[in-house]
Amino acid sequence: METINETHFEGFGKRTQGKVRDIYEQSEQLLLVTTDRHSSFDRIIAHIPHKGAVLNLMSAFWFELTKDIIDNQLIEVPDPNVIVAKRAKPFMVEVVVRGYLTGVTDTSIWTNYQKGKRDFGGITLPDQMTKNMPLPRAIITPTTKAGHDENLELSEVVPRGLATEGEWEEMQKSALALFERGQEHASSKGFILVDTKYEFGLHDGKVILIDEIHTPDNSRYWLKSSFEERISKGEEPMAFDKEFLRIWFKENCDPYKDEVLPEAPPEMVAELSRRYIEIYETISGTKFAIDERLPLLERIEKNISKYRV
């Protein structure tokens, strides 16, 4: 199945490449093209059909649902894979909000809990907690954005010059409100929003939400109906995000150190694509449908043609 691995459109402004998005810079706005690149462990580990469209459309849904909490980057969605976004100066801190003790990456709360750390996001966790248990309350565990993610204490953000005290307070307040809204809506649709990360930027002197929100790429989702049963059996929750593919790579290689990684099993790639589409349709209440009459890159370029500069 065709995937969008990268784009090189001409005439839309300077192109830069993020982990998942290709960014076209224009004087007043950005064209954010979400590809099918699958990023984990600070590298690309696979390409997942339809993933980019799901992420883009999911973000657009959540941006609309949460714009009363904080203004965001969204201007228009001219194509399933593209958001036209307000230009903003990003804060170099990711605001990670967690509701459960879980994760497999170096920055995950479960990985650090296993190493003996107990203080997270302003609370001290007891000993003898087990993986995937709910936390006493939602907590914020910020990380840096430059290069390899680095965990930060809440008190480090302002002294490091990553934000002013007022900006950091606004980001924390907004992040917790966004997470609460996300958990409530996800729960009503049969999912648990486990954790997520938010990125913020300055636009016209105001803090706004940028990048993406509550997608299965930057958030962890579990199926609510089977959660208790699977936990009681010592099984991992049914995940509707990229975690199950991350776990496979952790079990089959060292994804941080190995120069060459094994290829993701085709059946897992197909299953991840299916899960992404299912959670989008369930959360948004909208059927996932894209025009496949043209090759993907041709379709995108046609739909964004009015933004050629």
Residue 62 lies in a domain: yes
CA atoms within 13 A on the CB side of 241: 24
Judge whether 35 lies within some domain: yes
Q: Tell me the per-residue pLDDT of 135-186, one tens digit each, with 9 for 90 and over.
A: 999 999 999 987 667 899 999 999 999 999 999 999 999 999 999 999 999 9
Claim to verify: residue 74 and residue 119 sit in the same structural domain:
no
Percentage, residues of the chain above pLDDT 90: 91
Residues 192 and 111 in one domain: yes
Question: What is the pLDDT averaged over residues 277-297?
Answer: 95
Q: Is residue 7 part of a domain?
A: no
Stretch 185-204: mean pLDDT: 98
Q: Does residue 97 share a domain with residue 228? A: yes
Beta-bridge mates of residue 197: 96
Question: Total structural domains in the chain?
Answer: 2
- Asked whether the predicted pLDDT for residue 79 surpasses 90, the reply is yes
pLDDT attached to residue 106? 85
Q: How many CB atoms sit inside 10 A of residue 128's CB?
A: 6
CA distances from 48 to 3, 37, 114 (A): 7, 7, 31
Percent of the chain with pLDDT over 70: 99
Q: By the 8 A CB rule, do 253 and 269 touch?
A: no
Between residues 35 and 247, the one the model is more confident about: 35
Encode pLDDT of 96-127 as tens digits: 999 999 998 888 999 999 999 999 999 999 99
Same domain assignment for residues 103 and 204: yes
Residue ranges making up the domain that contains 47? 14-89+266-307
Do 225 and 158 lie in a common domain? Answer: yes
pLDDT, tens digit, for every residue of 23-68? 999 999 999 999 999 998 889 999 999 999 999 999 999 999 999 9
- Smallest Cα–Cα separation from 237: which of 276, 268, 193? 193
pLDDT of residue 147: 64
Q: How far is CA 72 from CA 120, 136, 169, in A?
A: 28, 29, 17
Closest CA to 30 of 91, 83, 106: 83
Specify which residues 97 forms β-bridges with: 140, 196
98 and 82 in one domain?
no
Look at the block and give the residue holding tokens 């003996």. Answer: 116
Quick check: is 253 in a domain? no
pLDDT (average), residues 212-241: 94
Residues 147 and 280 in one domain: no
Q: In whole numbers, what is the pLDDT of the chain averaged over residues?
A: 95
Q: Is the same domain home to 84 and 110?
A: no
Q: Which residues contact 8 (CB under 8 A, 6 or more apart)?
A: 15
Indicate the SS3 state at residue 47: strand
For residue 89, what pLDDT is reported? Answer: 97
Provide the pLDDT for residue 88: 97
Name residues whose C-beta falls within 8 Å of residue 267's C-beta, 6 or more positions apart in sequence. none
Residue 242 confidence class, pLDDT cut points 50, 70, 90: confident
Backbone angles phi, psi at 247, to 5 degrees: -60, -40
248-253: average pLDDT: 94
Residues 104 and 196 in one domain: yes
Residue 26, amino acid: Q
The CATH number of whichever domain residue 188 belongs to comes to 3.30.470.20
Listed residue (77, 103, 69, 75) closest to 88, CA to CA: 75
Mean pLDDT, residues 288-304: 95
My answer on whether 230 and 95 are in the same domain is yes
